[in-house]
Amino acid sequence: MKTKIKIGFATALLVSFAFVSKAQTSAPAGSTGTSSSDKEWRLSVGPEVGIPTGTYATNYGWLFGGSVQLDIPVLVHGLYVTANAGYDNLIAKKDVANINVQTIPVKAGFKYFILSDLVYVQAQAGVHFLANKSDLNADKAAAFTYTPGVGVLLKLAPKNYLDLGVRWEETAGFYNGGEGSGGNSYGLVALRVAYSFGL
């Protein structure tokens, strides 16, 4: 129940930012609206916070981390190829004998703006490299991950933006026998708040 409340709050916050930004950036009547350049490469960096879902929510409370992402425009209007790398720390609850899961995610994918240059959908896939494999006695040092998400890009000034994104992420297990059965794979819902600038 608490997980659903947290997810609902994050989603409502994201939607609110979208409507506020749309109202502030709407072009006056009779003027020509301007939008971000389709040829603008963007680099963003920012913190991330998330909550695990499924069986992992029993032993782990929060995910904290950060990432840097490069958005590269392609020929289609509003479509970008993305490359993302960062650091995640999945925090074990104090009342269980678990160790934090520390990973270095490396992902690539696509971002597509569905409402002007404001609201986008994004899909990425890649690998989580386990930074503390020996502490966890894990069988594998890397695991496949995929993540769909939505977000808003709020323009602060020319070539300066606030990128707010919510994603759902699923990562395969670091132990043998877990993939496919959900035995040790884990999912999470995360919020990314990043400063983005045009290159």
Residues of the chain with pLDDT > 70, as a percent, come to 77
The residue that leads in pLDDT, 99 or 44, is 44
What is each CA distance from 148 to 16, 151, 169, in whole angstroms?
Answer: 20, 11, 7
- The whole-number pLDDT of residue 186 equals 87
Secondary structure of 4-28 in HEC code, one letter for each residue: HHHHHHHHHHHHHHHHHHHHHHCCC
- Alpha helix (H) ranges present in the chain? 2-25, 133-136
Which residue(s) pair with 153 in the sheet?
163
Instruction: Please check whether the domain covering 2-24+40-198 is classified as CATH 2.40.160.20.
Output: yes
Which H or E element spans position 186?
A: strand 186-198
Residue 126 has pLDDT above 60, yes or no: yes
Q: What is the pLDDT of residues 11-33, one digit of tens each?
A: 444 434 444 344 333 444 443 33
| Structure tokens that stand for 27 in this block | 């072009």
Three-class secondary structure of residue 41 per DSSP: coil
